[in-house]
Amino acid sequence: MNHSKPSILIADDDENVLSALTLALKCENYQINKATTPHQVITLLSRKQFSCLLLDLNYTQDTTSGSEGMQLIEAIRNIDSHVPIIAMTGYSSVDIAVEMMKLGANDFIEKPWRNAQLSNKIKQQIERVNIVRRNEKLSQTNALLTNKQQGVIAHSAEMRQVLTQIERIAVSDMNVLFTGENGTGKSMLAHYLHQHSTRNNNSFIAVNMGAITESLFESEMFGHVKGAFTDAKEDRIGRFELASQGTLFLDEIANINLNQQAKLLHILEERKFERVGSHITLEADVRVISATNANLEQLVIEKLFRQDLLYRLNTVEIRIPSLKERVDDIIPLATYFIEQFCQKYRMP
């Protein structure tokens, strides 16, 4: 899991103010970045995701109107709609404060500030935006998880052996490839593996790779920022980000082309990615489970599937037996499905 310090960007044209704030906030265990101009703020913001911005309203053009700071807040909100902004001014008034809030500032503080008050405001804003981001992620996750979890039926020795293998592997963080015929339960067993893993308190995100067109592949998998392309009306979180610290299940993995395979390989090797239209690099902290009914080794020979990608995906390969190989499960499965449909249709 990521336990990095929250990062604060301080912007002020007065070096004494920057030094005093840096000293005060480093004691609070924050990572500090500094900027002396609005241009530097925008440059830094395009390269890194910050936990909070502490912005002076006045720079070089004038000393009291706050117009530069207000233009800066507007520009920041076009880049990042969530990052907390606390504005600083030595000449604050109700009118300026109201205007700042309209443009997207979350709070303001007057100079000279009290360290305890400033610290509280920063903590409140970081906590608030973390809740907003968690809720956004949760709502998108819930939209993807439309199928209810099904029970795992394993009366046969063959399936009990598979479950034992899954449970043993689940506690590690190795990538797993499920193979087997259509309908053998690969998706269900991927979820079963996630439930038995150390990541089970975080998201399980399933993606049908065969249903994603090449033109939407990067946007679906890595996300995009508002304005990245014609139809990008708002920021979108991709599947890798949704699955952060959890499990990403890539179903029908054989159905992506060589171009898509290259992009997927890159993220699996580097463990980093960027949303489409953004230069901010994000960590890919996910466990990848994939599944296919195809013979990937044969596809590698035919040069339709990358050998290096297969190597990344199948740290462990688990073959799921077909129903004809697990005859002892036929009656229990039939009974289970009858019970499910009786409940669904309210019939005996």
Range with lowest mean pLDDT among 58-67, 82-91, 255-264, 268-277: 58-67
Delimit the domains of the chain by residue range.
Answer: 7-138, 167-321
Tens-place pLDDT, residues 5-28? 889 999 998 899 999 999 988 888
| The model's pTM | 0.63
CATH topology classification for 7-138: Rossmann fold (3.40.50)
Closest of 166, 173, 161, 160 to residue 315, by C-alpha = 173
Give the side-chain half-sphere CA count within 13 A for 240: 24
Q: Are 11 and 71 a contacting pair, CB within 8 Å?
A: no
Q: What angle do CA 49, 51, 57 make, to 5 degrees?
A: 95
Paired tokens of 329:
């499960």
Tens-place pLDDT, residues 28-59? 889 999 999 999 999 998 888 899 999 988 77
Pick the CATH number of 167-321 from 1.10.10.60, 3.40.50.300, 2.60.40.1180, 2.80.10.50: 3.40.50.300
Paired tokens of 11:
């912007």
Paired tokens of 59:
């720079």
Q: What is the pLDDT of residue 69?
A: 84
User: Which residues touch 201 (CB under 8 Å, ≥6 apart)?
Assistant: none
More confident residue, 96 or 63: 96
- Asked if the domains 7-138 and 167-321 are classified in one and the same CATH topology, the answer is yes
Range with lowest mean pLDDT among 63-67, 155-159, 306-310: 63-67
Distances (CA, A) of 154 to 159, 253, 292, 321, 332: 5, 26, 21, 11, 9
Q: How far apart are CA 140 and CA 149, in angstroms?
A: 18
Q: Are 55 and 86 a contacting pair, CB within 8 Å?
A: yes
Q: What is the pLDDT of residue 8?
A: 94
